[in-house]
Structure 1
Amino acid sequence: MLNRNHRSVDASHVKSLYDRRLDNYNALSNLRAQRNLLSKRAKNDPEIIQQAKHIKEQIKQLETSLAATETELLQCAIQIPNDTHPDVPLGPESNARVLKTVGNVDALMGEKNACQDHVALATKLGMLDLEQAAIVSGSSFYYLQGYGAFLETALIQYAMDKAASKGFLGVITPDIVRTPIAYGCGFQPRAGESSQIYHVHAHDDDALCLAGTAEIPLAGKFATRVLEEAELPHRLVGYGRAYRAEAGGRGTETKGLYRVHQFSKVELFAVSTSEQSDAVLEEFREIQEEMFAELGLCFRVLDMPTEELGASAYRKYDIEAWMPGRKAWGEISSTSNCTDYQARRLSIRYRPTHKTDKNTLFCHTINGTAIAVPRVIIAILETFQQLDGSVKVPQVLQKWLPGQPSILSPPKHDNSSL
């Protein structure tokens, strides 16, 4: 566990809680055994009855102590992040290693040094309504309309079709999940930090929340299951809505679609053996690169450093697109190998084809963003904008749009406020 950004985790305290829990459990087991033995001998013997009452009190105290220790142990242990790959760069985001750059930033910025950002472009094209969304839902929400709505569905269909052509099973995921499933995937808030999770107040005792990514219900699809090694890896592509309660701090990143509370997302997910997961991670990255190249975006691939890894990630690649309107790189995708971190918490196992000393082993899980719709829309609008305010449509998306247009132009009659 090298240089992770989880300073609140005290591994020695977790170890002491584990030892205390084990001592309490063993002591409790011994006392219960004594109670059972005395119950067989008690009959009308006052001395034995008194011993049994004393042991009963001790058992009650130990049960209370054990429950409290297990609660504290779970709260502390769940904050412990995954290990890290030995090749991952150490330190903060600035230490990310650039593995590849596709496209030419200078060519994009050439005659567009004064280019418009996606908010100005989308508003003129009648694709975006932020004002009414703020009235209806609050800040960091939005309406996509007209070709904005169809551009979203086109990106979803393109990504789902691309993954399906490579053997992925298409899945539409539930947006509401049990909170323990989300925590099992590593999405619990860190100590002292506000939660990004929207909690749902149900009528029963179930703790429910809105999924922050389709990765959560896709992982949950395998929870408590025992798979056969010959079946692995399982590859899924899931579409769902992502909900993030904290959409970021103040500044330019909160403008428009870059950081929002709700968005559509197509997610790649796999369950594999430990020997397969590194190769699956590279496979996911290749699919992502293929899609963004076909969309015609200028992008770069980063090997993210230790302080930028989420709790579950053993290794993570980010893909950033150049966004001319922002004059900056912006993250549009990532892919992570979570090894057995999520599988242990969700009890996802497989049965080895050839017998080993263990009947079952924990699987590895791998996830990757195929399309995070709002940010890819930003990259498309700002990359393919023309001097007259129109925007070229990437060829691979045209067949998914009504009329199959090659260019989107501002409407003759402004209906953007409708």
Structure 2
Amino acid sequence: MIDPRILRDEPDRVRAALAKRGLSGEAVDRALAADATRRKAIVDFEEKRAEQKQLGKLIPKASPDEKADLLARTKALAAEVKAAEAAQGEAEVAWKAALASIPNLASEHTPAGGEEDFVVLEEVGTPRDFSAEGFEPRDHVELGKLLGAIDLERGAKVSGSRFYFLTGVGAQLERALVNLAMDQAREAGFTEVIAPSLVKPRAMEGTGFLDQAADDVYRIEGEDLFLVGTSEVPMAAYHSDEILDAETLPLRYAAFSPCFRREAGSHGKDTRGIIRVHWFDKVEMFVYTTLDQAEAEHQRLLAWEKAFLEKLELAYRVIDVAAGDLGPSANAKYDCEAWIPTQGKYRELTSTSNCTDFQTRRLDIRARFSDGEQQRTGPIATLNGTLCAMTRTIVAILETHQQADGSVRVPAALQPYLGGREVLEPIVKP
């Protein structure tokens, strides 16, 4: 959630941030009204509690006639105190809900608008011109069949639409990508993590995913558990309810986990192949750092993502995502989109978001800072960045590095993870 002081002291700034996302300022008005009600409820309760304590001191000193009146007043006041305490509790819940409904304030550099209003920051590499090479590129579905790498039919038979099997070199390719990503992260100083894919509601709420994509989340029937759509969720909750030592920051984690998404609202989109699926594996970078270092850390995460895509020899572009397309927890987000030859366009492969202190306030994560001889606790920032989402990365590799005979050239950086193999050969004749 946002800093309550910003809401109280700079409500117009919050309204402007909501407008940048294409949202009305009604949430600000509701939150301010809830805050006023909460403050009044606190005062009412404290006044009645103070009166109750004062009466308690007077009763032993009172005369018999006065004592009867004081006892009657004490009895009535006890009910009033109880009602005031309940009203304060209700007002506190309403205030927190109103505050939680306000998304993070978008960065100054974030473009205003919706999904199509992104700004292209750079393009890296040149998409292959297959016409100049004299052949029409095959899509990843056809290549997957030729290579014995992707089995969509049996995926649908076993689990339903938008599921798949990776087989043979497909499975080997995912394992190679996981190892390449984890090795890069470890060499950059990240702690490797295998993260749980099931989390409690607090983790989902704390990261903003029940606000952002509740319809896209799988909940386990009969259990108070959710399947995660990204390991950002368990990693954000990893240090929940903790006070960290500021001297240890940044804490950088690289977490591997399966990811599950219902893909609600995507009916008819990307129905062919493994671009948009209900389950995929991913290596996610997650960082805890100080607020003053968050923006610089965001640039570092983007640089690590770019370095990984360049190892895979992919043509890609970097976009600054518009405010209306940010999740509620993000202050800013960069996407790296790889060129997909058969689609003739760039598609998101990785993204990185700066969530400032939005998630840590919800999850009660702070750091202890030293100011000379004095110590204080204060909020910190979280950031996340996809290093490798397996299915889309496999799509980009197969389509980008395919050859006329249906084989696929292996990028040099991946070859050591595939036993030195330079080419993936078809097992079926084209």
Match of 1:183 among 205, 214, 222: 205
Match of 2:276 among 259, 277, 282: 259
Decide whether the 8 Å contact of 2:315 with 2:338 is kept in 1.
Answer: yes
1:149 is aligned to 2:149: no
SS at match of 2:20: coil
Give CA-to-partner distance per residue, 1:57-106, whole Å, 9 cap, x none: 22333344334333333333222111122122221233322111111125
1:408 is aligned to 2:430: no
Residue of structure 1 equivalent to 2:154 = 132
Amino acid at match of 1:115: P
Residue of structure 1 equivalent to 2:93 = 71
Residue of structure 2 equivalent to 1:385 = 402
Give CA-to-partner distance per residue, 1:353-404, whole Å, 9 cap, x none: 3249871111111111100111101101111111222211222112222x43
Give CA-to-partner distance per residue, 1:325-373, whole Å, 9 cap, x none: 2222100001111111111111222222324987111111111110011
SS at match of 2:90: helix
Match of 1:195 among 204, 209, 215: 215
SS at match of 1:189: helix
Q: Distance in 2 between matches of 1:137 and 1:115?
A: 30
Q: Distance in 1 between matches of 2:234 and 2:298?
A: 19
Where in structure 2 are the equivalents of 1:273-284 lying within 5 Å?
Answer: 273-284=290-301
Residue of structure 1 equivalent to 2:37 = 20
Decide whether the 8 Å contact of 2:211 with 2:328 is kept in 1.
Answer: no
Which range is displaced more, 165-174 or 122-131?
122-131
Give CA-to-partner distance per residue, 1:109-135, whole Å, 9 cap, x none: 644773221112112222222223223
Structure 2: gaps (5+ residues): 1-16
Structure 1: gaps (5+ residues): none
Deviation at residue 413 of structure 1 after TM alignment: 9.4
Give CA-to-partner distance per residue, 1:257-304, whole Å, 9 cap, x none: 111111111011111112211111111111111110110101001111
Decide whether the 8 Å contact of 2:135 with 2:404 is kept in 1.
Answer: no
Decide whether the 8 Å contact of 1:5 with 1:308 is kept in 2.
Answer: no
**Structure 1 residues 345, 112: closer, same or farther in 2, change over 3 A?**
farther
1:366 is aligned to 2:383: yes
Decide whether the 8 Å contact of 1:126 with 1:146 is kept in 2.
Answer: yes
SS at match of 2:257: strand
Residue of structure 2 equivalent to 1:322 = 339
Q: Distance in 2 between matches of 1:142 and 1:6?
A: 38
Q: Distance in 2 between matches of 1:214 and 1:386?
A: 35
Decide whether the 8 Å contact of 1:9 with 1:80 is kept in 2.
Answer: no
Decide whether the 8 Å contact of 1:243 with 1:261 is kept in 2.
Answer: yes
Which range is displaced more, 247-256 or 331-340?
247-256
Q: Distance in 1 between matches of 2:158 and 2:205?
A: 30
Deviation at residue 53 of structure 1 after TM alignment: 2.6
SS at match of 1:10: helix
Which range is displaced more, 311-320 or 94-103?
94-103
Q: Distance in 2 between matches of 1:413 and 1:114?
A: 16
SS at match of 2:229: coil
Pairs aligned (count): 408
SS at match of 1:22: helix
Match of 1:331 among 333, 342, 348: 348
Residue of structure 1 equivalent to 2:412 = 395
Amino acid at match of 1:331: E
Match of 1:32 among 36, 46, 49: 49
SS at match of 1:121: helix
Which range is displaced more, 140-149 or 245-254?
245-254
Match of 1:165 among 178, 187, 192: 187
Q: Distance in 2 between matches of 1:110 and 1:297?
A: 18
Residue of structure 1 equivalent to 2:229 = 212
SS at match of 1:326: coil
Residue of structure 1 equivalent to 2:10 = none
Residue of structure 1 equivalent to 2:13 = none
Q: Distance in 2 between matches of 1:113 and 1:5?
A: 45
1:122 is aligned to 2:144: yes
SS at match of 2:370: coil
Where in structure 2 are the equivalents of 1:56-67 lying within 5 Å?
Answer: 56-67=78-89
Which range is displaced more, 368-377 or 45-54?
45-54
Q: Distance in 2 between matches of 1:135 and 1:351?
A: 53
Identity %: 36
Q: What is the TM-score with the length of structure 1 in the denominator?
A: 0.90
SS at match of 1:89: coil
Decide whether the 8 Å contact of 1:319 with 1:333 is kept in 2.
Answer: yes
